């Protein structure tokens, strides 16, 4: 029985490349001289530091620009409020979200059932597995989910397409 998985994953290599490019731009730009603007990359977050809230926001905007050029969806990133980091500096944590939350997975399954497609969907950990009798039915399901991507507020990928 043909199946495929609906996932929401970040391409970490592209995130790292965008991060390195943003760091280089911060180091070279004249308007960031003396602001102690920096970026720190962890596995599940990016920390943006600078001397003022405006500089933090501007450094984050540079990172966003580099991410969009590398086709990394911004739906994977969630910013938090800026907070004090020492006496004269500010920082903002940006979380990197991966996987489909259970409420969104339930919504995907519900949308597929309501669409009347001849496929069945089930939740497996942080993915949704869709199975059907024919390959064409699965391709219809993928096309349907692509039209609903904005409603789901997720960046979805379709993997493990098996006959």
DSSP at 158? E
**pLDDT for 48-72, tens place per residue?**
998 888 999 999 999 999 999 999 9
In this prediction, residue 25 carries a pLDDT of: 93
Q: pTM for the full model? A: 0.84
Q: Place 79 in a pLDDT band, splitting at 50, 70 and 90.
A: very high
Shared domain for 89 and 22, answered yes or no, is yes
Residues 56/39, Cβ–Cβ less than 8 Å: no
The CATH number of the domain holding residue 92 is: 3.30.70.990
Shared domain for 80 and 125, answered yes or no, is no
Residues 69/19, Cβ–Cβ less than 8 Å: no
What φ, ψ does residue 156 adopt, rounded to 5°? -105, 145
Query: Residue range 18-47: average pLDDT?
Result: 90
Domain range holding 16?
Answer: 12-96
The CATH number of the domain holding residue 144 is: 3.30.70.860
How many whole angstroms separate alpha carbon 24 and alpha carbon 97? 25
């Amino acid at each position: 029985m043909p199946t495929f998985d609906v996932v929401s994953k970040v391409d970490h290599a592209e995130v790292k490349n965008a991060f390195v490019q943003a760091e280089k731009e911060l180091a070279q730009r004249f308007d960031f001289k003396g602001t102690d603007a920096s970026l720190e990359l962890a596995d599940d977050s990016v920390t943006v530091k600078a001397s003022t809230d405006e500089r933090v926001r501007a450094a984050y905007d540079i990172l966003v620009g580099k991410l969009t050029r590398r086709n990394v969806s911004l739906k994977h990133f969630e910013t938090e409020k800026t907070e004090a980091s020492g006496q004269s500096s500010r920082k903002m944590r940006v979380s990197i979200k991966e996987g489909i939350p259970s409420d969104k997975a339930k919504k995907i399954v519900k949308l597929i059932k309501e669409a009347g497609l001849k496929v069945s969907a089930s939740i497996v950990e942080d993915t949704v597995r869709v199975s059907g009798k024919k390959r064409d039915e699965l391709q219809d399901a993928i096309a349907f989910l692509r039209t609903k991507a904005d409603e789901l507020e997720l960046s979805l990928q379709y993997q493990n397409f098996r006959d």
